């Protein structure tokens, strides 16, 4: 079952509601842009590649709900829907990439029916390609792992963060499929606990050995020699930095200090190589995500909170970037990366 998909019967976007995991596995349907935006903002659907698919399907949803019969008006409506979708979460570049790819495809149509058909085809192509490219990415990454390795990961870069298979967890799945014995240390990933709630659950479903730790334990386990490599996903890769879930940078510093390879697994659609770190907006989320946990107050109600959802890891801390087109290694030169993308 895919994490996000299109229901042809009633023309709705369906997805796993990830806020309910691991207690409940439930599909929900979005039948308008408002409910899709709510689902993205509240992380019912999350993870950069899944957001790329959500962006693409969002345009298909807007097209299917519009009854205008002028091409120009329909294209304007879709562009406005795209801007609304893109504004929900600013850091993961795949969201805007998915929206823009489908909007670009719409311009090839000759009439409004053609637009509706093309945007849905393109959105479905994004979803299909995501599954296929994650398998290729996984195979490239799996070759880097040795039988018996323990991999530390952060947040969730698994099938729930993609349409299927996963990026960082895709590498682990591919290595296991090749017959390698791989264990995983999953960092909890405060404040929304994607590591504990989703990564641990996903790996246990696949019977891949996983041990849950708090984020602050990563230095300790590396110092103890318990980690062979770190593999994380990415939300955006600029020329000088990898943006990923808050806490990733700290793990990269610990990995460098302890001589542990720090690898990033991400599809080409996550690269934003024309930009530099300081041009990227890091999403700031509600303070209540730190003041409350599972509905229970855990800090003073009026305490000031700083809650960035992502951080930037400088390229000098990155050992390899694993993509569907192969593995990039330092110095990550602009021309070399452009050529391979
Ligand atoms: O806030 P989230 O849960 O959407 O953050 C997700 C991550 O940071 C993932 O590591 C990243 O999107 C890569 S997913 C393949």
The series of mean pLDDT values per 10 residues for the chain, 341 residues long, is 97 98 98 98 98 98 97 98 98 98 97 98 98 98 98 99 98 98 98 98 98 98 98 98 98 98 98 96 98 97 98 98 96 81 76
Pocket test for ligand 1, best of 19, 155, 236, 282 (most atoms within 8 A of CB): 155
Give all domains of the chain, ordered by start, each with its CATH number.
4-134 (1.20.120.420), 139-340 (3.40.50.10470)
Specify the DSSP class assigned to residue 21: T
pLDDT at residue 335, rounded to an integer: 82
pLDDT at 337: 79
Question: In the numeric block, which tokens belong to residue 257?
Answer: 């200090």
Distance 32 CA to ligand 1 centre (A): 24
92 lines ligand 1 (CB under 6 A): yes
Check residue 338 and give its pLDDT. 77
CB 46 within 8 A of CB 18: yes
- Sequence-ordered list of residues with C-beta below 8 angstroms from that of 307, at least 6 positions apart, any chain: 191, 284, 285, 286, 287, 289, 290
Q: What residues are annotated to the active site? A: 235
Residue 256: predicted pLDDT: 98
**Residue 59: how many other CB atoms lie within 10 Å:** 28
Closest ligand 1 atom number to CA of residue 166: 15
Give the closest residue to 245 by CA, choosing from 44, 47, 52: 47
Return d(Cα 108, Cα 43) in angstroms, integer: 33
Asked if 228 and 146 touch (Cβ cutoff 8 Å), the reply is: yes
**Residue 4's beta-bridge partner residues?**
15
Helix (H) or strand (E) holding 62: helix 48-65
Q: Which atom of ligand 1 is nearest to the CA of 245?
A: 8
Question: Is the CB of 155 inside a 6 Å radius of any atom of ligand 1?
Answer: yes
pTM of the complete model: 0.97
CA of 266 to the centre of ligand 1 (A): 11
Ligand 1 centroid to residue 279 C-alpha, Å: 19
DSSP result, 172-204? HHHHHHTT---EEEEE--TTTTHIIIIIHHHHH
């Amino acid at each position: 079952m895919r994490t996000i998909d299109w229901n042809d019967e009633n023309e709705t976007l369906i997805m796993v509601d990830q806020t309910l995991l691991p207690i409940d596995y439930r599909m929900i349907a979005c039948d308008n842009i408002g409910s899709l935006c709510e689902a993205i903002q509240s992380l019912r659907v999350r993870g950069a590649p899944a957001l790329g698919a959500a962006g693409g399907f969002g345009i298909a949803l807007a097209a299917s709900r519009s009854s205008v019969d002028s091409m120009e008006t329909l294209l304007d409506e879709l562009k406005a829907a795209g801007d609304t979708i893109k504004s929900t979460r600013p850091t993961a570049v795949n969201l805007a990439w998915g929206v823009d790819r489908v909007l670009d495809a719409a311009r090839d149509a000759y009439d409004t029916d053609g637009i509706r058909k093309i945007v849905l085809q393109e959105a479905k192509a994004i979803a299909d390609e995501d599954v296929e490219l994650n398998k290729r990415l996984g195979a490239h990454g799996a070759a880097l792992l040795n039988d018996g390795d323990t991999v530390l990961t952060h947040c969730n870069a698994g099938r729930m963060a993609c349409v299927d298979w996963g990026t960082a967890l895709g590498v682990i799945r591919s290595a296991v499929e090749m017959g390698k014995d791989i264990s995983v240390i999953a960092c909890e990933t405060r404040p929304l606990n994607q590591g504990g709630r989703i990564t641990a659950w996903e790996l246990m479903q696949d019977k891949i050995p996983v041990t849950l730790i708090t984020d602050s334990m990563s230095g300790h386990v590396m110092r103890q020699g318990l980690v062979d490599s770190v593999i994380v996903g990415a939300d955006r890769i600029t020329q000088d930095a990898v943006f990923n879930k808050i806490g990733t940078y700290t793990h990269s510093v610990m990995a460098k200090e302890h001589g542990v390879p720090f690898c990033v697994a991400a599809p080409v659609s996550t690269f934003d190589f024309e930009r530099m770190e300081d041009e990227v907006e890091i999403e700031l989320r509600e303070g209540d995500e730190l003041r409350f946990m599972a509905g229970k107050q855990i800090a003073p109600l009026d305490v000031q909170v700083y809650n960035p959802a992502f951080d930037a890891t400088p390229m000098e801390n990155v050992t390899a970037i694993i993509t569907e087109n192969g593995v990039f290694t330092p110095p990550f030169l602009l021309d070399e990366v452009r050529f391979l993308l």
